[in-house]
Chain A
Amino acid sequence: MMSQERESSKSTTPDVDGELDPHEAAALLQQTRLRAQRQFDVWPPYLLFIGAAIFLFAFGAAWWSVRGQSPYVGPSGWALADMYGGIVAWIVAVVSVVQRATRGVSGRSAKRRAYRAGYLAIIIAYSVFQGALYHAGASHAIVYGIYPACAPWLFAGATFLTYAAIREEGRAFVLGIVLLAVGIGGAFAGPIAAWLVSGISLCAVLLGFAAVQAARRRA
């Protein structure tokens, strides 16, 4: 935000009640903003890097377990355990980071966070719908392939687009479109490749998001 014209010979943490040189003030202002942004950031770059690795490994394991299947049966038990275990671990990490970042913060953001519990409804709907597909006689390629590999991104993409429409937020709009494209692209790739497409695409999305977050911190 503000570039230092020249380095002050004085400390950048002056006495709390002392006089301020303008250069010290500028440095202190920038330092304080940066520190506060980091403290309140619910999506630190490291969390996104971890998520990228987890999703790539989780979906990659699912793909590895189904490659060559003919007829398609679905991911093996170990692959599913690996996938869901990784995703649950990441969700726990995300919740922990959010709780730490938002500790002591109240107001409109806190109310919005309460509504985000509605995401649980999405997860439940996703699972119930999968059961409905199974009971309707849909093939394994659909129930245990295309649907679990691709449907989450359609749900997520729709969620982000709805959020973007309400908040008039460009980044959420772009992310929503990208997630829809990932879901649709994976579906067209077929039940086996859908896992690989989803894993690689989601890894790329999270890495891109991490890069954006890192750039914002440096700005």
Chain B
Amino acid sequence: MSTQELDALIHVPARLRIMATLATLPDGDALSFTRLQGLIGLTPGNLITHLRKLEDATYIDTAKSGNGSASLTTIVLTRQGRKALDVYTAALRDLLGGL
């Protein structure tokens, strides 16, 4: 097995951290953008870029509520996202076992 078999979308430091952080929450729980940004330590623009890529792949869902300064964006890991992370983790374990 080679690194090429790892999910390229997840196998990037920022997105791996985003996925791993969201996966810590129970199924059905969402995390606010602000809290996620605080945990990951990315700039808002950088985080948005990575979230869009994950959302395009249906690994996460984002929802926006409220208006103006009171608006709140929440991010939740989808079932596909959880499965993709599990597959990635298993592939990584296999790869490291083979090295």
Contact = CB atoms under 8 A, between A and B. Distances in A.
Interface of A: 1-2, 5, 13-18, 20, 22-26, 28-29, 32-33, 35-37, 39-40, 103-110
A83 B6 CA distance: 57
A195 B14 CA distance: 53
Given A16-B46, A22-B96, A36-B21, A2 B89 contact: yes
Given A5-B97, A32-B17, 16 more contacts: A1-B89, A5-B96, A15-B13, A17-B46, A25-B6, A25-B16, A33-B24, A40-B24, A103-B32, A104-B31, A104-B32, A105-B29, A105-B35, A106-B31, A108-B27, A109-B28
Q: Which 6 A-B pairs have the closest CB atoms?
A: A104-B35, A104-B32, A36-B24, A107-B29, A32-B20, A16-B14
B42 to A, nearest CB: 6
B62 interface: no
Contacts of B84: none
Nearest to A29: B20
A17 B16 contact: no
Contacts of B17: 16, 28, 32
Interface in B31-48: 31-32, 34-36, 39, 42, 46
A70 B32 CA distance: 59
A29 B92 contact: yes
Identify the interface centre among A15, A17, A22: most chain B CB within 10 Å of its CB: A22
Contacts of A20: 11-13, 16
A16 B42 contact: yes
Interface string B46-82: 1000000000000000000000000000101000000
Contact of B92 (A26, A36, A105): A26
